[in-house]
Amino acid sequence: MPNPLVSDRNVEFLLYELLRAEELTALPYFADHGRETFDLVLASARKLAREQMFPAFKPMDEEPPRLVNGQLRIHPAMHEIWPKMFELGLGNATRPVELGGQQLPRTVAVLAAHYCMAANGAAMGYLGLTQGAAHLLEAFGDEFLRREFMTRMYAGEWAGTMALTEPHAGSSLADVRTRARPAGDEWRIDGNKVFISGGDQDLTSNIVHLTLARIEGAPAGIKGVSLFAIPKKRPDGTDNDCTCAGVFHKMGWRGLPSIALNFGERGECRGWLVGEPNRGISYMFQMMNEARLMVGLNAVSTASAAYFESVEYARTRPQGRPLNARDPNAPQVPIVEHADVRRMLLKQK
Ligand SMILES: Cc1cc2nc3c(=O)[nH]c(=O)nc-3n(C[C@H](O)[C@H](O)[C@H](O)COP(=O)(O)OP(=O)(O)OC[C@H]3O[C@@H](n4cnc5c(N)ncnc54)[C@H](O)[C@@H]3O)c2cc1C
């Protein structure tokens, strides 16, 4: 039997019996929704997860992105999955209608994402990063950033990343050294980032890196860190001097590259300030917290898919005989019939 990834009954129980999601439709923001629209979203996500994302999981993991002439090439399956995710509106389902969203309760969106994450965490990584980066611009960006960058990201035309970590600044972001100097309405950026997930790909026509950097002359420490939107290509389509310097080897989520990213090797990298100078870390915490929730959901989703793999194996693997079977010629039984295997499955569940 194909892996269902997630129990439909559990989702129904959580959503309607435990969390009573239908009551949310009494709130004006969700007034156009009802159980029919919630079920429709879940059914579409479930179908995409089971029929397209899960079959692509193994091939994407076995053939991780490759750096070809300075450009990362990602698995063809991801090129098919990406537009489907946006056709279903997974990119901005919770956002207001005027931003192209569906005003869907997050509770429902999270359970739809649960299916997709159980199917293919790497594929969902591209989506989650893009959503989080666009949401940062929605919350703190000016009119230009919202119009030129955010709308394209919510539509899936462009993707987004979070670019915080530097070789000497991982947990301690107060030590970020990437530098920003004024250049008219824009900023000239130079610096090196590492471990940037989805930091390069050939999936979308542009990638916007939401980047922590230090304006020249800013105070030392975390209170001197600002947030910039740095696109791979400038709004006029010209190259913005963001270079993929290498791809890190990973043990899992191999379909989503984590890369070393250099800004301004030729002195030609431009960034756009998000919000006020020196307030970057407080803005960035919105995306970091969303990423933390996504990582947690991913762990639950992976555990769910793994449980169903175990059940299927236990049902189909014949081994040994019941304790009370004395006949050595009796047929073997599936291991699910052994009490200790059942105990382990129950624990996993
Ligand atoms: C798969 C993957 C994807 C990633 N994607 C991104 C991304 O998209 N964007 C991005 O910006 N970064 C990304 N990162 C980087 C990630 O954010 C950093 O790895 C993380 O911040 C930790 O930094 P570090 O690896 O330099 O470890 P370090 O900061 O060197 O920490 C090493 C160890 O010391 C501990 N430690 C450090 N400081 C303290 C302290 N003050 N008190 C107690 N313990 C401490 C840490 O908990 C850790 O166990 C990614 C990393 C991985 C592995």
- Chunked mean pLDDT (size 10), the chain, 349 residues: 95 98 98 97 98 98 95 97 96 96 97 98 98 98 98 98 98 97 97 98 98 98 98 97 96 96 98 98 98 96 98 97 91 97 96
pLDDT, residue 129, reads 98
Nearest to 177 by CA among 263, 115, 108: 263
Nearest CA to ligand 1 atom 48: 171
Ligand 1 neighbourhood includes 252 CB (under 6 angstroms): no
Closest atom of ligand 1 to 164 CA is: 11
Ligand 1 neighbourhood includes 196 CB (under 6 angstroms): yes
The best mutation among 129, 161, 165, 175 to test binding of ligand 1, ranked by most ligand atoms within 8 Å of the C-beta, falls on 165
pLDDT, residue 306, reads 97
Q: How far is the CA of 245 from the centre of ligand 1 (A)?
A: 19
Closest atom of ligand 1 to 163 CA is: 11
Domains recognised in the chain with CATH numbers:
8-157 (1.10.540.10), 158-285 (2.40.110.20), 317-348 (no CATH)
pLDDT, residue 1, reads 80
pLDDT, residue 256, reads 97
Ligand 1 neighbourhood includes 243 CB (under 6 angstroms): no
Q: How far is the CA of 169 from the centre of ligand 1 (A)?
A: 8
Give the CA dihedral 267, 272, 275, 277, nearest 10 degrees.
20
pLDDT, residue 315, reads 97
Closest atom of ligand 1 to 171 CA is: 29
- State in Å, rounded, how far the first CA of the chain is from the last one: 18
Q: Is 23 exposed, middle or buried (0-12, 13-18, 19+ CB in 10 A)?
A: exposed
Ligand 1 neighbourhood includes 171 CB (under 6 angstroms): yes
Nearest CA to ligand 1 atom 42: 171
Q: How far is the CA of 211 from the centre of ligand 1 (A)?
A: 16
